[in-house]
Chains A and B, each alone.
Chain A
Amino acid sequence: MIRVDDLRKSYGSLKAVDGVTFDIQAGETFALLGPNGAGKTTTIHMMVGALKSDSGSISIDGATDPTRPVVRQKLGIAPQSLSLYEDLSAEENLQFFARIYGLHGPRLKERVDHALNFAGLADRRADHVKTYSGGMQRRLNLAAALVHEPKVLFLDEPTVGVDPQSRNYLFDNIEALKRAGCTILYTTHYMEEAERLCDRVAIMDHGKVLALDTVEGLISKFGGKSVILAQLDRPPTDPTRLPGRLDGLTLRIESEHPLEDVARLSSDGLRFTTLSIKRADLETVFLSLTGRTLRD
């Protein structure tokens, strides 16, 4: 569906995007995960034709020029900022964006109603956007991207600045879009979002794709072992037989199969007052790839 090959963009001496290559299958939800300034937004802007690349190629549904109207008709974007007209109502915003995609008449009304219901804003359709909460504005921002029923959705940090309840609502929306077969390119710096929503993740930093795979694939390749932290109820009779490192009553074990290890220790007669298993995640992957955390 989408093919990006050796995409590059520089601003003076700063290489914002440096040889990015990936492809996205139809109906796939693909994440660009990386900290602020990694080059995610610049990549998206080049893919939708809003920014000219220095070199490289982009192909969307077989077309190599994303600025062609026939290609753009298939694209929808929810920019990182709330790209709405605050002095217009939700309905007026959606009608406007639908009209510029050529919708009119009953089809326009149908799509606007659908988008309002999708965003849960049907009962506030006539209110000006400036009266909405941040979460409502985020939902409308997403609704405006899909009002014309695009094949490909570009969601640039769609949950920035929203409360947990609104975030969950947005996740449900995006999962609904996935189920409907929409191809989604999702940028985020929240690993939880990428893990929950995305089929594959490209980890970006300093304009480069550092790794690209499924979440499980990335973790298994770069995440390292899980960590078991156990608090024993009494000192063990023979500490030398225990795996890992014992510090007082605290036992720390790095393991590729943590559940099996815990079961074995339990059958050996160890009793735990507390037990935790920290599985490797994308944060760990990013740490192992870059030497720093996503939030640094």
Chain B
Amino acid sequence: MHAILTMALKDLRLLWRDRFGMFWVLVFPLLQALFFGAIFRGDGKDTAKMTIGVVDEDQSQSTQSFIKRLRDSSALSVEPPLDANGKPATPLTPDQARDMVRTGNLVAFVIVKKNTDENEGFTFAEMPKLEVGIDPSRKAEAGYLQGILTEASFKGLQDAFTNPAGMRERIEKASKQLDVGSGLSAPQRIVLKTFFTSLDQFLGSVDPKVYHEGPQAMGGANIQLVDITREKHGTDNSFEITFPSAMLWGVIGCTAGFAISLVTERRTGTLLRLRVAPLQRTQILAGKALACFLACSGVILLLLTVGHFVFGVRTTHPALLAMAIFSTAICFVGLTMLFATMGSTEQGVAGVGWAVMLVFAMIGGGMIPLIAMPQWMTVASNFSPVKWGIYSLEGAIWRGFSFAEMLQPCGILVAIGVICFAIGVQLIKRRET
């Protein structure tokens, strides 16, 4: 056992001193966990607003109110922005607004046209006339914008009703316009005059608060927006998904490193020295396996420690975590022995080892999280030890596996490890005799 430990410590020391190897074993997996963890971290509350440009040709109080309602919308970002005095910093011209949409700087433009209704007929609630243009590549948002504009317009009508005195002035004005020269026939004028009179009486007798607080105010359909959080399976912490994957990348780095080191020992002759020493072949391989096991376990533990203390990765089930770490390390020790026989040079072993490992990682959740995989890929991932490694670690971290549920992934990992180790040792033995 002393000799095995001596050989394992030597290998760990060599790994530690190999900066390039340490990058793949520790730095790269950590960077990967941080990068993807940060990407997946968003909770959906900072959804981008639709940026539109607004041109006010009317410059009336009612159009300014309309534009203010657009600015107040949580769904829109309105250009130009306002200065300290609440005025548009640099008002857009219609041509500028059209150009900005055409060049992709705005999703849409809204031109509030000059209102000439006073000369054309009657009105008792000012509805803005709008010219709207939208980026043709954003068709899905066209209807969305139209809804927001309609809402803002009807909000103006609702506001008009909350000011009965102002409304009654408008009705009186409209009634006079009917008399002066609307071009309507006498029966039509009588009908409208009767309507205006009734409305005037109605506005004089109803409490304005009704329009705001009544059961069905004049705000269109009674829609209540609720905050919807997308359904998530198990964890709100994206790092709990990326760290198990990163741990497996670290383990893959160890596997490749130790498989290559075995070939290096064969090439340089240090393996010959070991074989001429009073050691059994099994002791030599056990030393290498122990080093690989300790390196794999150490990398997982180190990443887990960083994940726990810095990114809140849960370690509430240490026994299950130990089970996952042990079985994952065993599995990849076995793969190390097998890969060490897949070439006679370091380049050969590195090429085959990394190629196989990348495929395992690709289909096993090392690149795409297991929970984000399509169905067919989930099935394919069953053939990858990387999947079972990640699955066991996730089971202990956030999937809430019981001991019995942990047995499946851990059992598969240990079985792969033992089988690959046995095959690898036999092939090494055959090669060296």
Contact = CB atoms under 8 A, between A and B. Distances in A.
B282 to A, nearest CB: 13
B6 A100 contact: yes
Contact of B267 (A48, A51, A81, A101): A81
A79 B279 contact: no
How large, as a class, is the contact surface on chain A?
A: 20 to 34
Chain A CB within 10 A, most for which of B278, B432, B433: B278
A87 to B, nearest CB: 4
B267 A70 contact: no
Interface in B275-293: 275-279
A96 B276 contact: no
Given A96-B6, A96-B10, A99-B6, A85 B270 contact: yes
A77 B14 contact: no
Chain A CB within 10 A, most for which of B3, B7, B268, B270: B270
Interface string B409-433: 0000000000000000000000011
A84 B268 CA distance: 7
A258 interface: no
Interface string B247-262: 0000000000000000
Contacts of B41: none
B148 interface: no
A24 B220 CA distance: 110
Nearest to A128: B17
A49 interface: yes
B136 to A, nearest CB: 62
A82 interface: yes
A72 to B, nearest CB: 4
Contacts of A88: 10, 13-14, 17
B362 interface: no
Contacts, number: 71
B275 to A, nearest CB: 5
Contact of A52 (B10, B14, B268, B433): B433
Contacts of A80: 269
The B contact surface, by secondary structure, is: helix
Contact of B276 (A48, A82, A99, A102): A48
Contacts of B433: 51-52
A99 B13 CA distance: 15
A73 B14 CA distance: 26
A81 B264 CA distance: 12
Nearest to A154: B276
B320 to A, nearest CB: 37
B319 interface: no
A99 B17 contact: no
Interface residues of B, number: 23
A99 B10 CA distance: 11
Contacts of A85: 10, 14, 270
A96 B10 CA distance: 7
A100 B7 contact: yes
B273 interface: yes
B18 interface: yes
B31 interface: no
Given A87-B14, A99-B6, A72 B277 contact: yes
A72 B269 contact: no
Chain B CB within 10 A, most for which of A52, A83, A92: A83
A250 to B, nearest CB: 50
Contacts of B199: none
Nearest to A81: B269
Contacts of B272: 45, 50, 77, 79, 83
Interface string A9-49: 00000000000000000000000000000000000010011
Nearest to A71: B278
A75 B274 CA distance: 12
Given A79-B269, A99-B6, A100-B3, A72 B278 contact: yes
A51 B271 CA distance: 13
A50 B269 contact: no
A190 interface: no
Interface string A142-158: 00110000000000000
Interface of B: 2-3, 6-7, 10, 13-14, 17-18, 267-270, 272-279, 432-433
Interface of A: 45, 48-52, 69-70, 72-73, 75-77, 79-85, 87-88, 92, 96-97, 99-102, 144-145
Top 6 closest A-B pairs, CB basis? A83-B269, A69-B278, A79-B269, A81-B269, A72-B278, A87-B17
Given A82-B268, A82-B269, A85-B10, 19 more contacts: A45-B272, A48-B276, A49-B276, A50-B272, A69-B279, A72-B276, A72-B278, A77-B273, A79-B269, A79-B272, A79-B273, A83-B270, A83-B272, A85-B14, A87-B14, A88-B13, A100-B274, A100-B278, A102-B278
